[in-house]
C-alpha cells in the first residue's frame, strides 16, 4: 500500500453514482446535425479551414489551431458543412461563440488514418506533435491543450506522473465506466505518456475507494509496469489537481506554480485514453464518454458521445421527462452549471449531463444574511477564508481579495454546499475573479496606450529639437558667411592691423593678411563641401532625363489625340512638347559635359 496524505476541509455529499453504472457504455444514433464550437479549450479559438457546402469525412480537420496554445477541430462524422456562424455554447450565460455545423450523411465514413505501435522508438517531440494534431485537451477540467502540458522544453525534468481517476463529483461515472471497460487501453496511454516524459520515477493512478470494479480492472494491466494504483478514502473535492498531488505525494503546490515547475505532470484518465487512440490508432479526439443521469431521465447511463452532439439528442434517447425536472445541468451538482438551452452541444470537457428531479435538487432558496458560523472555512479544501472573501467581493475590494488569495480558490462549491444561509459564495468568487481579470486587462491596455502616447510625444519633441538645431546651424552658417564675406572684402581693400593699432589704408595691390586668407579658404571649403559629388550629379541628371523622356512621351501622345482639335488645344500641347524637348536636351548636354 502506498502512503497517502489527508487534505484539509472537504465534504461528503450523497454520491448517487450507482444509477449510471448498471449498464455498459452505450452508443447513440448519429445526430442529424453536429455543432462543433471552435473554442473547446484554454487558448485561442481554432480557425475554420472549410467552406459552406463542403463535404467532409469523419476525422477530417475542419479548423486549424491558431497558435501554440490552441488545438485543431475535427469532423466527428461525415457530412456537409451547413453553417459557419456564432451559436449558443455550453456556458452558464448562454453566450454565443463561433461554431461549425455539420449536417451528417449517416454513412460515418472515416478519412484514411493509421497510428504507430512502436512508439518507444519515436521521439517525444514527434509524439507530442501527434497529440497536438489530434486536438487533445484536458478532458477533466478547463481543457488545457495536452501537447503544451507535455512539452519537454522545460527547465526541470519530470519525476512524477499522476493519472487522475478520482472523479469525485456526485453522479458522474464517465471515468469509472471507461476504466472498467478500457483499462488495457488506458494503461497503454500511460505508457505513451511515460515515454514522452522520459520515464518518470513515480507513475501513479490516483483513485478513490468508491470504485472497486475499476480498481480490480486496472490490477492485471499495471502488474510489472511500475505503475502504482493508489487508493484513498472518498472525499470531495479530492479530484482537484493540487489536492490530488498532495494526497499522493504530500507535496503542496505553491501558489502561482504549475505542477511541471515542481517536476510533476497530472493527466485525466479520459485524456490518457484519447492519447492512446491518437498515437496507436491515429484517431483524433472526436468523441468522449459522457454520463447522462438524474431522476428526470428514464435510463441513466454512460454513452460514447460524438463531440458536437446537441444535449437534446442525449435527453431524447434517455426518456427525459421535462415535467419532472426543472433544469438540465452540464457537469456535476457541485461545479456544474444550468444550461440555458438543451440545444447546446457536447464539448471535449463535457463529462456529465445531469437532469435532476425537483426532489433531488430543489430550486435555489433565497440567500439569508451571513451568521458567521465558520462552516465555510472548515469545508474549504484550500484553507482560505470564504467569509472574508465574500465580504470583499460584495464591496468590490479587489486588493483585499488578492491579498486573501482569491485565485487559489478552485471553485469546488464546498463552501456553498455547507452554508446554512444558502449564500451562493462561489458565484461571488467567480464574478470577482472576472472583474479582477478585466481590470488587469484594462490596466495593460491603459499602460500600453500611455507608453505609446509618451513615445509619440518624445518623438515629436525630438523632431522639434532636431529642427531647431538645424535652424540654429543655418543661422550660424549664414552669420559666418556674412562675416567671411565682410572679412574678405575688407582684406582686399585694407591691410590687416593689430587689434591695438588703428586701421590704415592699404596700398594698391596689397595681399590680404593670413587670417583673412584662412577665413576665405574656410568659406570656399564649406561651399565645396555643399556641392554634390560628380557621381551624385550624374545620378541626378539621369533621373531628370528619365523623367523628362516620360513627360515628353505623354505630351506627344496627348498631342496625337488632339491632332484634329480646332479649339486651340493643339497649339498649347505643341508648345508643351517643345518645352519638354528643350529641357530634355539641356539635361542631356549637362550630362555629356559632366562625362567629359
Q: Is 380 annotated as a binding residue?
A: yes
Beta strand 301-306 pairing with 264-268? unpaired
Question: Can you tell me the distance from the alpha carbon of 386 to that of 365, in angstroms, rounded to the nearest whole number?
Answer: 20
Q: How far apart are CA 115 and CA 99, in angstroms?
A: 28
Short-list 269, 80, 283, 53, CA closest to 180 = 269
CB 30 within 8 A of CB 306: yes
**Contact predicate 281/213, CB 8 Å:** no
Angle, helices 534-561/569-595, rounded to nearest 10 degrees: 160
Are β-strands 352-354 and 287-293 bridged in parallel, bridged antiparallel, or unpaired?
Answer: parallel
CA neighbor of 133 nearest in space, from 199, 59, 197, 55:
59
Of the candidates 10, 69, 82, 5, the one whose C-alpha atom is nearest the C-alpha of residue 41 is 69
Of 160, 264, 173, 163, the closest CA to residue 218 belongs to: 163
- All cell numbers assigned to 483: 562675416
Element (H, E) at 73: strand 73-74
**Residue 582: which residues within 8 A CB-CB, separation 6 or more?**
none
**How far apart are alpha carbons 327 and 320 in whole angstroms?**
11
Q: Is 49 annotated as a binding residue?
A: no
Q: Which of 146, 160, 60, 143 lies closest to 102 in space, CA to CA?
A: 60
SS3 assignment, position 596: coil
> CA-CA distance, 50 to 103, in Å (whole number)?
14
Residue that has been written with the C-alpha cell 478513490 in this structure: 208
Q: Phi first, then psi: give them for residue 41, nearest 5 degrees.
A: -160, 165
271 contacts 132 by C-beta, under 8 angstroms: no
The span from the CA of 297 to the CA of 279, in Å, is 36
Can you name the residues that pair with 137 across neighbouring β-strands? 145
Question: Could you tell me if 275 and 193 are in contact, meaning their C-beta atoms sit under 8 angstroms apart?
Answer: yes
Q: Extract the annotated binding site for [4Fe-4S] cluster.
A: 370, 373, 376, 380, 409, 412, 415, 419
Q: Extract the annotated binding site.
A: 370, 373, 376, 380, 409, 412, 415, 419
Amino acid at each position: 500500500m502506498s502512503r497517502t496524505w489527508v487534505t484539509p476541509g472537504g465534504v461528503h455529499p450523497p454520491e448517487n453514482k450507482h444509477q449510471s453504472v448498471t449498464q455498459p457504455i452505450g452508443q447513440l444514433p448519429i445526430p442529424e446535425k453536429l455543432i462543433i464550437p471552435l473554442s473547446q479549450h484554454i487558448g485561442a479559438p481554432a480557425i475554420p479551414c472549410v467552406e459552406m457546402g463542403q463535404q467532409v469525412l469523419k476525422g477530417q480537420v475542419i479548423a486549424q489551431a491558431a497558435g501554440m496554445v490552441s488545438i485543431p477541430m475535427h469532423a466527428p462524422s461525415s457530412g456537409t458543412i451547413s453553417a459557419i456562424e456564432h451559436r449558443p455554447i455550453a456556458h452558464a450565460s448562454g453566450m454565443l461563440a463561433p461554431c461549425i455545423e455539420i449536417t451528417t450523411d449517416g454513412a460515418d465514413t472515416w478519412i484514411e488514418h493509421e497510428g504507430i505501435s512502436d512508439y518507444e522508438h519515436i521521439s517525444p517531440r514527434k509524439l507530442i506533435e501527434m497529440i497536438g494534431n489530434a486536438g487533445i485537451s484536458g478532458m477533466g477540467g478547463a481543457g488545457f491543450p495536452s501537447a503544451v502540458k507535455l512539452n519537454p522544453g522545460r527547465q526541470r525534468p519530470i519525476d512524477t506522473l499522476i493519472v487522475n481517476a478520482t472523479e469525485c463529483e456526485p453522479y458522474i461515472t464517465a471515468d469509472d465506466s471507461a476504466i472498467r471497460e478500457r483499462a488495457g487501453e488506458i494503461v497503454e496511454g500511460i505508457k505513451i505518456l511515460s515515454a514522452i516524459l522520459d520515464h518518470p520515477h513515480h507513475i501513479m493512478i490516483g483513485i478513490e475507494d468508491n470504485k472497486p470494479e475499476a480498481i480490480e480492472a486496472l490490477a492485471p494491466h499495471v502488474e510489472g509496469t511500475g505503475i502504482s494504483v493508489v487508493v484513498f478514502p472518498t472525499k470531495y473535492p479530492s479530484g482537484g489537481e493540487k489536492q490530488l498531488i498532495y494526497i499522493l505525494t504530500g507535496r503542496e503546490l505553491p501558489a502561482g506554480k504549475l505542477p511541471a515547475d515542481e517536476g510533476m505532470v497530472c493527466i485525466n484518465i479520459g485524456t490518457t485514453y484519447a492519447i492512446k487512440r491518437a498515437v496507436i490508432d491515429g484517431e483524433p479526439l472526436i468523441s468522449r464518454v459522457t454520463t447522462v443521469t438524474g431522476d428526470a431521465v428514464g435510463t441513466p447511463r454512460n454513452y460514447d458521445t460524438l463531440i458536437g452532439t446537441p444535449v437534446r439528442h442525449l435527453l431524447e434517447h434517455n426518456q427525459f421527462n421535462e415535467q419532472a425536472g426543472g433544469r438540465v445541468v452540464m457537469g456535476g451538482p457541485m461545479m456544474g452549471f444550468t444550461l440555458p438551452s438543451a440545444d447546446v452541444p457536447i464539448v471535449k470537457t463535457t463529462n456529465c449531463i445531469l437532469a435532476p428531479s425537483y426532489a433531488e435538487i430543489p430550486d435555489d432558496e433565497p440567500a439569508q444574511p451571513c451568521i458567521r458560523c465558520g462552516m465555510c472555512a472548515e469545508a474549504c479544501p484550500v484553507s482560505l477564508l470564504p467569509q472574508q472573501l465574500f465580504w470583499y467581493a460584495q464591496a468590490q475590494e479587489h486588493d483585499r481579495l488578492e491579498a486573501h488569495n482569491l485565485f487559489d480558490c478552485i471553485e469546488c462549491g464546498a463552501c456553498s454546499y455547507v452554508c446554512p444561509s444558502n449564500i451562493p459564495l462561489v458565484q461571488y468568487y467567480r464574478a470577482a475573479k472576472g472583474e479582477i481579470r478585466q481590470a488587469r486587462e484594462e490596466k495593460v491596455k491603459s499602460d500600453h496606450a500611455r507608453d505609446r502616447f509618451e513615445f509619440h510625444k518624445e518623438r515629436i519633441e525630438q523632431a522639434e529639437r532636431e529642427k531647431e538645431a538645424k535652424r540654429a546651424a543655418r543661422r550660424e552658417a549664414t552669420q559666418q558667411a556674412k562675416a567671411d564675406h565682410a572679412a574678405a572684402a575688407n582684406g582686399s581693400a585694407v591691410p590687416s592691423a593689430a587689434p591695438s593699432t588703428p586701421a590704415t589704408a592699404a596700398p594698391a595691390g596689397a595681399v590680404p593678411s593670413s587670417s583673412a586668407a584662412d577665413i576665405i579658404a574656410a568659406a570656399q571649403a564649406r561651399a565645396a563641401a555643399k556641392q554634390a559629388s560628380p557621381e551624385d550629379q550624374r545620378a541626378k541628371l539621369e533621373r531628370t532625363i528619365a523623367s523628362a523622356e516620360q513627360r515628353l512621351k505623354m505630351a506627344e501622345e496627348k498631342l496625337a489625340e488632339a491632332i484634329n482639335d480646332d479649339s486651340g488645344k493643339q497649339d498649347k500641347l505643341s508648345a508643351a512638347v517643345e518645352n519638354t524637348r528643350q529641357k530634355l536636351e539641356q539635361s542631356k548636354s549637362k550630362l555629356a559635359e559632366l562625362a567629359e
